[in-house]
Amino acid sequence: MPIRLTEEKIRQLLKQHQGQPPQHRLSDPSYVECDVFIAGSGPIGRVFSISATYARTILDWAEKNNKTTPKIVMADIGSKDGKITGGHHKNSIKYQKDIDMFVNVIKGALQPISVPTSDVFQSTLGGTAWTPALEQALVIQGHNPNQKPQMNLKASAVTRTVGGMATHWTCSCPIPNDEERVELHKVIPKLNMDSLLNEAGILLNVHSNEFDDSIRHNLVKKGLTDAFTQFPGRTFQNIPLAAERRSDNKDYVTWTGADTILGKWNDTFDLLTETRVTRVGWEDPLRENKSPVQLALVRDLNTGNDRLIVAKAFIIACGSVPTCQILWNSKISEEVLGQYLTEQSMTFCQVIMKSELISSVDPEDPRVVAHRTNHPNDPLPIPFNDLEPQSMIPYTPEFPWHVQIHRDAFSYGDVGPKADPRTVVDLRFFGKGEVKKENRIFMAPLHGTFNEWKAGVTDIYGMPQVTFEVTRTEADKQRDQRMMKDMTTIANYLGSYLPGSEPQFMASEPGLAMHVTGTFRIGNSADNSVADDQSRVHGIPNLWVGGNGCLPDATASNPTRTSVAIALKGAQSVIDYIAPLL
């Protein structure tokens, strides 16, 4: 049963669990009681979608079984940006009319995780200005004096807003190849996992044919058809997208965000915004192992006040890195936490489609005729409102990488004034890396005993600073080179490289660092995993984790659908636990 707290006990617990030295004030109320507490701050693995998956599944169950609606409290380190909680920002008309503008939204949303301290000497700085001494280093805004540049995930970043990266993700939801879920099938059998993946597709509102009538989409398919005459056995498909054409205006698309997953339950639970989840713990710091978690310590970032959340069940779904920070603060699974990290490698280029492809556009197409009539000075036969291409080449054992040939906004790859964006196609090839225990994140030592914190480097939110130790094996490097060769071959069938976007490996050797997996992997043993097949932390009956960090495999395909599928199984486990307690 949940603990009951007097004001004296609250003060005692806040002092015991406090995360920072300054005096803490009591919030009003100083503690909150609920049935389920979800820490879902939204970074890295689109994890507000994971939080939403847990919340939606639990609330649907209660309604279907005529149970009292469980009280759910969710804390998010970000603010609510927009009228719709967790909505995809690309649903705004201005971004659908000019996708390159959306690049600025993504750039503005991302905050770096670990920045190696560079040489801060500035020869042109005035002599009276403050500057670090030679032996000193900057430690703010993600600067990390412990980070070795050659072992970093240079582009690793988080999005701190309600909805997290689900506010700007590509919505690509492929089903991974069996080679991408070897370890996963040891934990969740294949038939069960296949069923969960299909269920996740429904929850995410995944469709594969929303772009079939796009002129540009079909031009890319024609170019790929020509290319694949040279590659027997390879196929291309439409990207399964968490998106749907609007019924009221087919020119626009509704992209899935956390609001889609929550459905009618959106805004029906308590959402604490700009609230940092510091740790979870127990009333008695000398608790026995395997005892249920009793409370969470959270901080209102606006006031600096701390409060305690008392609940029956706790779910931490804050992304592949922040979830580890909370568990580390809580002294949970420290021996395994952050190990077995994997990240995708990535090659990228942009091409301007061949003239022969553009010339193949049917001049009798009514859309083309109307466009020519309305815009006689436009040299292209493609209407301005024509939707972008959305094609993919699936992962195969012979070609072990995932390919997306499309046109979308990223924090790179904007076209600007260099070319007409209707002629530009993006090629993004995603590779996987070998799963190694040695690839990991670790955190600065912020605490000694449960009641005593030691000085250490923190991030800008006061959580332990994360340091990456990631390298790629020789086999990874060879596979990456094959992937690059494959990309250049296919690109040449579609067109010529856009100047400035020639073939390149993206942002840091390990990859673009947006799909980190494995940091709190699920598995059958506490010796090499953080949680079990139900995403429940080993040894703690009422604590679950969610997000890409659960995935125990290296994956080339986008991992969101798989993470949601795993969360669906975890949510059922939460239901089984809380049902007798309601």
pLDDT per residue rounded down to tens, the chain (582 residues): 556 666 677 777 776 665 444 444 556 667 889 999 999 844 333 445 688 899 999 999 999 999 999 999 999 888 877 667 778 888 888 888 887 777 777 777 777 888 887 766 788 888 889 888 777 777 777 788 888 888 888 878 777 777 667 777 889 999 999 999 999 999 999 999 999 999 999 999 999 999 999 999 999 999 998 778 777 778 889 999 999 999 999 999 999 988 888 888 887 888 898 999 999 988 876 565 568 999 999 999 988 888 899 999 999 999 899 999 999 988 899 899 999 999 999 999 999 999 999 999 999 999 999 999 999 999 999 999 999 999 999 999 999 999 999 988 665 656 666 789 999 999 999 999 999 999 999 886 544 433 333 346 788 888 888 899 999 999 999 999 999 999 999 999 999 999 989 999 986 443 354 789 999 999 999 999 999 999 999 999 999 999 999 999 999 999 999 999 999 999 999 999 999 998
558 annotated active-site: yes
Task: Tell me if residue 266 is catalytic.
Answer: no
Report if residue 145 sits inside a domain: no
Among candidates 531, 570, 568, 536, which has minimal Cα distance to 552?
531
**Domain range spanning residue 54?**
7-87+259-333+517-581
Q: Considering 464, 493, 514, which residue would you say is the last residue of a domain?
A: 514
Tell whether 220 and 369 lie within a shared domain.
Answer: yes
CA dist 187 and 518 (Å) reads: 14
Mark whether 280 and 391 lie in a shared domain. Answer: no
Same domain membership, residue 280 and residue 238: no
Cα separation of 378 and 373, whole Å?
10
162 in any annotated domain: no
Task: Answer yes or no: do 269 and 388 share one domain.
Answer: no
Which CATH number belongs to the domain containing residue 300 in this structure?
3.50.50.60
Q: CA 408 to CA 388: how far, in whole Å?
A: 8
- Residue 445 belongs to a domain: no
Residues 81, 219, single domain; the answer is no
φ, ψ for residue 47, nearest 5 deg: -75, -15
Please indicate, yes or no, whether residues 413 and 494 belong to a single structural domain of this protein. yes
Which of 514, 538, 571 corresponds to the end of one domain? Answer: 514
Instruction: Examine the domain organization and report whether 400 and 501 are in the same domain.
Output: yes
My answer on whether 36 and 75 are in the same domain is yes
For residue 50, being part of any structural domain is answered with yes
pTM: 0.90
Rounded to whole angstroms, the Cα distance separating 399 from 377 reads 44
Residues 480, 404 share a domain: yes
Q: What length does the chain have?
A: 582
Domain boundary among 464, 498, 514: 514
Tally of domains within the chain: 2
Confirm whether 390 is domain-assigned: yes
Of the residues 238, 515, 542, 548, only one is catalytic, namely 515
Residue 525 shares a structural domain with residue 507 = no
| Interstrand relation of 72-75 and 36-39 (parallel, antiparallel or unpaired) | parallel
- Hey, what are 97's tokens? 């009319």
The answer on 572 and 504 residing in a single domain is no
Closest of 215, 204, 216 to residue 255, by C-alpha = 204
CA atoms within 13 A on the CB side of 282: 16
Q: Is residue 361 part of a domain?
A: yes
Domain assignment present for 181: no
| Coil vs helix vs strand at 138 | coil
Options 238, 266, 329, 558, the catalytic residue: 558
Is residue 216 domain-resident? yes
Say yes or no: 290 and 430 in one domain. Answer: no
Exposure class string for 269-283: b at 16+ Cβ within 10 A, else e: bebbbbbbbbbbbbb
